[in-house]
Structure 1
């Protein structure tokens, strides 16, 4: 998933293997938090990506570049509550990801 070059450049990839760099827009797959990458670091616990929206570090394998997220959301079916009402996006089921109960 990641490798270091000359101990100064860290190569990081998202859940799909797409490269993440500072300035890349990403989304956290568990909550849908979306933001811009402002820092990438590596410590004894592994690789971390800082997202400006929450100013929190996330594991890169739990991030997805937002272009991919946008495409996936657009492909989701829409649902109507009652005849004549506007269409709304169907909520995304992430229960299999979060393990919540």
Structure 2
């Protein structure tokens, strides 16, 4: 099956190997097809990467997150928000965890 249009908005940065992901998508894209995607800058993703490392160390990222894991993430991010101005969007991380859970 080949596609005319593939929309990868808010997804590509989640892939562990971006080059392999793009190569795979190309195999299912028609010759004149369109691949739409966006990539965040390293600066924009830095807090997400740090949070992912923390939650991996806490054992929360080894499998698809359940409600307990999502609750721990939300509690942690809310606690950080109160103490650190760079943790201003805990809802975005929990949304991305839910997206990751739904993708798997």
TM range (shorter): under 0.3
Q: Normalising to structure 1: TM-score of the pair? A: 0.27
- The structure with the greater share of residues assigned to helix is 2
